[in-house]
Structure formats: C-alpha cells, structure tokens
Structure 1
Amino acid sequence: MTGPGAAPALPRSAAAPRSLTPRAVRYVGLTGAVLLTVAGYLGGARPDIPLGATPVSIWRSPGGPATLTCWLLGTALLVGAWWSLREGAPSSRWAYVTAGLWSLPLLVAPPLGSRDVYSYACQGWAYAHGVDPYAVGVAAAGCPWLETVAPIWRDTAAPYGPVFVLLAALAVKLGGGLTGTIVLLRVVAVAGLLLAALCLPALARAAELPTRRAAWLALAAPLIGVHLVAGAHNDAVMLGLLLCGLLVVIRRPGRPPALLLAGALLGLAVTVKASAVVVVPFAALAAVHGRYSVRALLRDGGWLAGGLLAALAVTSALSGLGFGWVVGLTRSGDSEQWTSPPTAVGFVVDYAGELLGRQPDAVPVARAVALLLLAVLLVTLWWRAWRALRGLDDPRQSVAGPAVARLRVALHGAGLALAAAVVLSPVFHPWYATWPLALLAVAATRTTWFVLPAAVAAFLTLPDGTNLARFTKAPGALAMTALLLTLTLTHLPRGPRPR
C-alpha cells in the first residue's frame, strides 16, 4: 500500500542480496555477536584484566590466540552481515528483531572495546562522595576502582555534562559496588538506545525514507552492539535525547510549548555530551512554521533556544557543579591518534620536520586549524541549508515549501554537521561514528559514504580496550593524510569544460 507519506520501496535485490538470504544474515550476525561475547570473557575489558600493552603481548598471553581469533572473526561476521543489507532490511519489524537478537549476547558480555565505563563509574563515585569531578581526576578523588581505569584518563577531569555525572552517581549509589555500577550504567545506555529506536521510524517516515533502512543502519550497526551496549558508552543517552528532541520539533513546528520541550531535550543531550550542540542550529531551521524568514526563525528558534538554555542552567544548578564541565572538555584531546585526521596531519608534518632536523610540534597547530575549519564549515552548512529552505518557498505567494523537502534539508544538515564534528575533532574513537550514522540513516538517500567508515571503525579496537591506532602511528598517519589529500583533490571545483 502506498501513498504520499509512504516510504519509497527498495528494489528487492537491494533489500535482500541473492548471495545471502535475510535468514542467513540474521544468524551470521548472531554468530558474530556470540563470538564477540566469548572474546569478552576470555580477554575483554574485565576489572581483573589490565589494558594490553601490544597486540603481540595479548597474543602471547594465556588464551590470547583464542581471544583475538574470536574477536576478529566475530567482528568480521557482524560487519559483513550488517553491510550486506545496508540498502534496507526486508521490513522494519525484521530489522528491530534482528538488532535486538544481536544485542542479547552483548548485554551479558563484559565491557568491550574500551574501559571508559570504569571512568564513568569513578567519576560518579567522586561526585557521590562530595568531590567535584570537574576539578580533579579520579586518581586524586580517591576512587577505589582506580586500577580499572585506563592510565591516560586517571588524572583528567570529567569531560561530560552534569546530567551524565548525576546518572553515574546514581548508578554508584544504587549499584553498591563496581559490578552493580557497571550493570546500571549499561541499563542507562540501553535505555538511551531504546529511546532512539522509538523515534527512528517517525523521523524516517516524516522524511519519506524507508524505515526498514533507517532502523537497520542505526540500530544493527556493529558499533552499536559492541560500544554502546557492551561498552555502555554515554553516546547512547546523547543520541536518544537528540533524536527525541528532533522528533518533537518536526511534530510540532511553530508551537512554543513543544519547542520549549524540544529545546530542553536537546539541552539535556548537550549536558550528556557537548558534541550534540552542533545539531541545535539545524533544529532551529526545522522549528520554523510557515515560510522561512528571519523573523520566523527568531520567533520559533528563540523558543527552542530558550528551552535549551533553561535545561543547561537548571541541570548545572541542581548538580551544584555549575559550568565546570566546559573546562573538562579541553582535556578530551589528551590522546593523540592518527584516526583523527587533524592529528594525523600534525604527525606527518612532525615527521617531515624531523627529517629536516627540526621539531615543529605541529599536532596542536593542526588541531587548532581543524577547529577553526569546523566552525567555518558549520556556518557554511547552516547557510546552505537556510538558502535551500528559502528557495523551497514560493516567492510570489505566502506558501511554505513542501514539508518533506524542508525536513530532509534540516535533518541532512544536522547529520553533516555531526559528521564534520567527528572528522575534524582533535580525537576520534570508533563509537563517535554512531553520531552521524543515527541522523543520516533518516535523512540521507545515499548510504555508502557514511556506512563504510562505520564498518571500518569496528575493527579499530581489541576486546580489552586496546586501540590498534596506538601501534600503527606512522603508517596510519601517512595513510590518513594521503586519503585526505586524495579526497580534497577529487572534490575540488573544476573549471568549465571546453565547448
């Protein structure tokens, strides 16, 4: 059954490749999830297993070969199964059931791919015991679970907003110990994913894109199961609040009460992880009711901004921590890895300088230039979206452009803004790729350009949290810089062709 609001049907060959039936895809991915869970118990980020020094030392450790074999094979199976249906699952229900089935083994796995959940636990412990986590690191706070935290984060202040610190402290209070705290932090992450899952179909239908594709890309991705479910990363909570806020905006544009609520939800997302703030200007575009004008934008966007600022002020005041979390953001780039394009370019400049007998220390400069470029790019993306939306309106009459086209422009701009924030960030971790993935799944018509990086990112970590980028610094930096140069040269505007 079709209609004006129905999602366009995908070709049968695109939705279910003949080489692998949907049933086979489901159980190949489930096998991969089970193997990842086994790898977690053999050598995951368990409290009693220290962070591995090198992949070679992990291989030589007791059970190391079995751990790495299960991990790599499980990741390959899960990524391959997800990739095979990247143009859309057979149905939305099938996508939800399969994504849930893949998550079941990972729900009972030890933390995988990262030790950040132990940092959350210690930051929550510090706040629960009267210590400001934005003033001191977890080592100085006296966290009893310090040995479980990755060494690089033991002396850094919390870079997360007050809402997440409050959630972590609540998990500590109710958990009664490290294991209980980790379980509750995972429950919080799963709750964020469930909220996102509830919002995805309505967002996809509003943009007239297939819900079965949106659900599959955003929920069945290996990064979701490994890092947001098993790893319990707070990105899940941020995404849930972000998608919920956007859904309220598109359901009730121009309605002050709804826009205040939407702004508050977006503000809560920002107070979990500040990266969500880049979506707000595009949410303001989606909030406009009627024709686009500066007056309409200030009116409807102002209500949205009011809700956001109120959420920031109230949560910062209720936590008693003020805006100290903003200072903590400056320490999130302490880790230097080539997976961040600006950092990779800085590495290459440093290598070239060493060949010439100099020490340029280019990484901080490259990162600063990237942040400046990010600011320019965000303004450019917003301005292009604004002009596109103005162009949809009928200039001769007081008629707004088609609702679907308006929504797609706003959501696509928000997804591109998150993608730019990930690419130009001083540091990149694999789970960062879930940010644009969730939004572009409901806004983009082409998928490969953002699905492929998410698939590659799934292979960047080992089960105990060891990041493979640490051991491929020089070749990785050279490869990343070469890729950037290639993409830049191939996408430069070309002159007019000769007639």
Structure 2
Amino acid sequence: MGWAGVVRWVGLVGAVLLAVAGYLGGALPDAPFGATPQSIWRAPGGPATLTCWLVGTALLVGAWWSLRDGTPSTRWAYLTAGLWALPLLVAPPLGSRDVYSYACQGWTYAHGVDPYAVGVAAAGCPWLDTVAPIWRDTPAPYGPVFVLLAALAVTFGGGLTGTLVLLRVIAVAGLVLAAACLPALARAARVPTRRAAWLALAGPLVGVHLVAGAHNDAVMLGLLLCGLLVAVRRPGQPPALLLAGALLGLAVTVKATAVVVVPFAVLAGVRRAYTVRALVCGGGWLAGGLVGAVLVTSALSRLGFGWVGALTHSGDSEQWTSPPTAVGFVVDYVGALVGRDPQAVPVIRAVALLLLAGVLVVLWYRTWRALRRLDDARVVLRGAALALVATVVLSPVFHPWYATWPLALVALTALRTTWYAVPAAVAAFLALPDGTNLARFTKAPGALAMTALLLTVLLRVTRRRPH
C-alpha cells in the first residue's frame, strides 16, 4: 500500500469517527440547546463524543491536507471522496441544526403559509422544538427554489425523519452536479482535474456540513458551477447564454450569494469579443435567462420577492469569525475602556458591505482588462473565485460551511493551495457535532486574533505593492 492508500484509509477512519460522534451527541432532534463544551464533556458519553469528533476531524483534515497538491488520478480522487462521504451519509445531522429550519420552512409553505412573512414558530411547525431558538421567529432567507424543494421533502418525507433524509438527498444531488461539472471546468482552466476534484469535494467541510449537515449551499454550488460551465463552453451563443443565466438564476433563488458570480459569467459568455457592444448583447441574453428563472420560480411558488427582505435577518447572529464583526467587537472593547459605548458592529458591517461592492466592481473591471490581453477561461474563473472569497471575508456573518462557496472555484484556478486550504482546515474545527459553535465561547480572544490577522495581512499586502 502506497502513501495514497494510507491517506484513503486514514480519512475513512476519520469519517467513521465523525459519524460515531454524531450518534453519540450530534444534532439530534431531542438534543438540548445552549450546550457548552464543558456541559457536553460532563454529559453521559460526552468524553467519547468529543474525542471521536476531535480525532475524526483531525484525521480527515490531515488526510485531505496531505494530498492537496494532487492525487494519483481523478478517478482515485472521486472514489476516495465518495468513500469518505458514505459514513457521513448515514450519520445524524452534524455541525449545525439548520436542516431542521429547512424542514420547518418547507412545512410552513406546504401548509399554505408564506415563510417570508412569518417565522416557523408563528406558522405552527410541529417540529419547532428542533429549530435553534434564534431562527424560530425569523422569516426564511432562502429563495423560492429551495423553499419548493424543502416543501417537496416535507410532502414526500411523511414525517421529520423522512424529511431530513430527502433534504440530505437533495444536498447530495447538488454535490453530484458539482462533481459532474468540475472536470470540464478544470480542463477549461488548464489545471489538473485530480487536484481540483480533491480540493473541492474531499475536504472535511464538504463531508460534515454539505453531506451530513445537508446545507443548501450544496445545491447552490451545483447550479452555480453548471451555469459557469455552459457560459465557458458555449461563449457567444444566445441559447447557451440563456441557459447559463437560467441556471445561475436558479442558484440565486436557492441562496442569494450566487449573484456575485453573475457578472463574471457574462465575461465568460462573451469571450473573444470583449467590446462594450458584446458585453451588452451577451449580458442581455444571460440576464434574460437569469431574470426569467427568478420570475418564473417566484410566480410558480406564489411567493414573490419576500425572500429578498428576509435576507436582512441573516445578520442576527454576531460572531468573531466574520472579520467585520470581529473588528466591530474590538472597537466596542476599546470604547468600553474609555467609558464609551460606540455600538460599532452594525456600522462596520455596513462599511464592509460598501467595501465589498467596490471590491466586486474592481475585480470585474480587472478581469475584463486581463481578458482583453489574454483570452483565457481561467481568468474569468479566477475572478469569480476571488469575488466569492471577498464575499465570505466581508460578509457580516461567517459559518464554517460558507468556506465551501469559493473553495470549488479557487480549486480550479489557484496555483498555490496553502492560502485557502489552511482557512478551510481551521474552519473544520469551529463547530461541535451537536451544532455548538465554538466562536460563541471565544468572543474576545477570537475578535482580537481576527483583527490582528487582518492588520497583518493588510500590512503585508501594502508592503508588497509597487511604489
């Protein structure tokens, strides 16, 4: 057995340990809320739960990390990623309780109540006790496509367990779609498919949060990569651009984050003709497909655009894992030392969103200029990847599974893997199996560390800039 064989079985042992931790103390329907690492340790089976979770995560992260520069073959990468997903496919929900929110939002819609108008508590969801308290009174922040999928899971699931199973099937279907698109995108970007597939699909964040946690990010990613692939492979063809826009529109109506990639998909769709006229024409076809998909799904669901307003509630959670929130915490700490209460978090979050808008415009413009010099699909995909990186860094909230947004595209474009593999590896340790977020218990030190990291990065970037 060579080194790759050892890595495969080490990762499988890690995945099995994570599944065991899920059965011992995962996000089960009757798991208590408000748990702390200390209370979990003292609970019956607590030491075994935490030991399995930490050792399993370490083994899975280590196995993934050790082959980050490439696996023996693409087939080997796919088979190993699938093998590691099998124990997590049959595990209870892990790392988050969001899947219960999906179930209740689907139940709300299936029973004739608008999930964008009321929270699941007011709707009378019978599984309310499984939903995290912070999300019981907030409207659904997801688009109509995902609400329809969740309602289908409720309708055909026949109960909570069946609904959870179908929601996981939907998430896995999104990953399968993403996996099907990766080889062609890797060839277009001229990167080794075996490396791209490994980095995008075999990481612990994918197995724990997208497979076991059944997060809808998996569906968004599948549709997003499919839309980009159509635009990259059929540039300048109106029917293809309409289809690419429709796929991206479906991604947006699962999770609005996908919208930041749309301007780069326009560039992919007008390759070899980077004029203002071509951009307007190609962008019009793609925008037509996107708007059409949004309008049709909003009309079919009879939900309209209430989900857009519901997006404001996604920032209700304040954690130092979001860089703008961390900086806001530090400003508030400093203000407390001098006898003031600046309430800086909402202000800095708003500034970060304005900065994000500016960064996205600059990234798009630089990508357009680069394409006019060098017609290369990799340039477009890299621009889209950096747009998602900026979105994650400057968003008001960060959860570990958010790191999967840029991961697939960065895996297709980055020459060096360390700068994004390290954050993904660290994020794998931020949640416990029952969904307890460790950021809640490290607020001050975490905020200080994140702010110091930001200052260090900014200092290094400033020093490297040519004068």
Same fold (TM over 0.5): yes
Q: Is 1:364 aligned with 2:334?
A: no
CA distance in 1, matches of 2:198, 2:246: 28
Q: Is 1:85 aligned with 2:85?
A: no
Q: CA deviation at 1:36?
A: 0.2
Q: Is 1:423 aligned with 2:393?
A: yes
Partner of 2:380: 410
Partner of 2:407: 437
Q: Is 1:316 aligned with 2:306?
A: no
Native 8 Å contact 1:124 1:172 kept in 2:
yes
CA distance in 2, matches of 1:91, 1:228: 24
Look up the equivalent residue of 2:24 and give its one-letter code. L
CA distance in 2, matches of 1:289, 1:334: 41
Partner of 1:380: 362
Q: Is 1:129 aligned with 2:99?
A: no
Native 8 Å contact 1:52 1:464 kept in 2:
no
Partner of 1:488: 458
Q: 1:384 to 1:354 in 2, by over 3 A?
A: same
Percent identity over the alignment is 81
Out of 226, 230, 245, the position equivalent to 1:244 is 226
Q: CA deviation at 1:493?
A: 4.9
Q: 1:113 to 1:261 in 2, by over 3 A?
A: same
User: Which structure 2 residues correspond to residues 214-253 of structure 1 after superposition, within 5 A?
Assistant: 214-253=196-235
Q: CA deviation at 1:51?
A: 2.8
CA distance in 1, matches of 2:228, 2:392: 20
CA distance in 2, matches of 1:181, 1:425: 30
Native 8 Å contact 1:192 1:241 kept in 2:
yes
Native 8 Å contact 1:52 1:58 kept in 2:
no
Partner of 2:275: 293
Look up the equivalent residue of 2:32 and give its one-letter code. P
Q: CA deviation at 1:442?
A: 1.1
Native 8 Å contact 1:289 1:300 kept in 2:
no
Partner of 1:396: none
CA distance in 2, matches of 1:495, 1:319: 50
Q: CA deviation at 1:391?
A: 2.0
Q: Is 1:333 aligned with 2:315?
A: yes
Q: 1:31 to 1:495 in 2, by over 3 A?
A: closer
CA distance in 2, matches of 1:315, 1:103: 31
Q: Is 1:72 aligned with 2:54?
A: yes
Deviations 1:261-312 (A, max 9, x none): 0100000000000000000000000000433111111111211111001001
Q: Which has the larger radius of gyration?
A: 1
Native 8 Å contact 1:235 1:273 kept in 2:
yes
Structure 2 gaps, min length 5:
none
CA distance in 1, matches of 2:347, 2:151: 37
How many corresponding residue pairs? 467
Look up the equivalent residue of 1:93 and give its one-letter code. R
Partner of 2:26: 44
Look up the equivalent residue of 1:491 and give its one-letter code. V
Q: Is 1:105 aligned with 2:87?
A: yes
Look up the equivalent residue of 2:403 and give its one-letter code. A
Look up the equivalent residue of 1:102 and give its one-letter code. W
Q: Is 1:477 aligned with 2:447?
A: yes
Look up the equivalent residue of 1:423 and give its one-letter code. V
Out of 187, 192, 205, the position equivalent to 2:174 is 192
Q: TM-score, normalised by structure 2?
A: 0.99
Look up the equivalent residue of 1:489 and give its one-letter code. L
CA distance in 2, matches of 1:431, 1:465: 12
CA distance in 1, matches of 2:82, 2:35: 34
Q: CA deviation at 1:56?
A: 0.3
Deviations 1:335-391 (A, max 9, x none): 000000000000000000111111110000010000000000000100100111112
Where 1:292 maps in the other structure, the secondary structure is coil
Look up the equivalent residue of 2:221 and give its one-letter code. L
Where 1:460 maps in the other structure, the secondary structure is coil
Look up the equivalent residue of 2:227 and give its one-letter code. G
Q: CA deviation at 1:494?
A: 5.7
Where 2:137 maps in the other structure, the secondary structure is coil
Look up the equivalent residue of 1:207 and give its one-letter code. A
Where 2:315 maps in the other structure, the secondary structure is coil
Where 1:134 maps in the other structure, the secondary structure is coil
Partner of 2:330: 348
Q: CA deviation at 1:495?
A: 7.5
Structure ranking higher in helix proportion: 2
Deviations 1:92-130 (A, max 9, x none): 000000000000000000000000000000000000001
Native 8 Å contact 1:51 1:464 kept in 2:
no
Q: CA deviation at 1:49?
A: 1.2
User: Which structure 2 residues correspond to residues 146-295 of structure 1 after superposition, within 5 A?
Assistant: 146-295=128-277
Native 8 Å contact 1:125 1:169 kept in 2:
yes
Native 8 Å contact 1:45 1:51 kept in 2:
no
Deviations 1:150-196 (A, max 9, x none): 11111111000000000000000000100000000000000000000
Q: 1:37 to 1:495 in 2, by over 3 A?
A: closer
CA distance in 2, matches of 1:425, 1:259: 29
Q: CA deviation at 1:48?
A: 1.6
Q: 1:345 to 1:177 in 2, by over 3 A?
A: same
Look up the equivalent residue of 1:381 and give its one-letter code. L
Q: 1:57 to 1:22 in 2, by over 3 A?
A: same
Partner of 1:5: none
Q: TM-score, normalised by structure 1?
A: 0.92
